[in-house]
A = this chain, B = another copy of it.
Amino acid sequence: MCELLGMSANTPTDIRFSFAGLSQRGGRTGPHRDGWGIAFYERRGCRTFHDSAPSATSEIAKLVESHSVKSRTVIAHIRMATGTSKVCLENTHPFTRELWGRGWSFAHNGRLKGIKHWPLGVYRPIGTTDSEYAFCWLMGRLRRRFPEPPDKVQPLAEYLRRLCREIGKMGTFNMLLSDSRYLFCYCSTQLSWLTRRAPFGKARLIDREMTADFAELTTPRDIVTVIATQALTHDEPWRAMEPGELAVFRNGRRART
Contact = CB atoms under 8 A, between A and B. Distances in A.
A100 interface: yes
Nearest to A67: B59
Interface string A77-119: 0000000000011111000111011110000000000000000
A98 to B, nearest CB: 6
Interface string A22-51: 000000000000000000001111111110
Contact of A88 (B42, B59, B90, B102): B42
A123 interface: yes
Contacts of A43: 88-90
A58 to B, nearest CB: 11
Given A44-B89, A47-B50, 7 more contacts: A42-B88, A43-B89, A44-B126, A44-B127, A59-B67, A63-B63, A96-B96
Nearest to A59: B67
Interface residues of A, number: 32
A16 interface: no
Nearest to A45: B89
5 contacts: A42-B90, A44-B89, A47-B49, A96-B96, A103-B126
Nearest to A143: B122
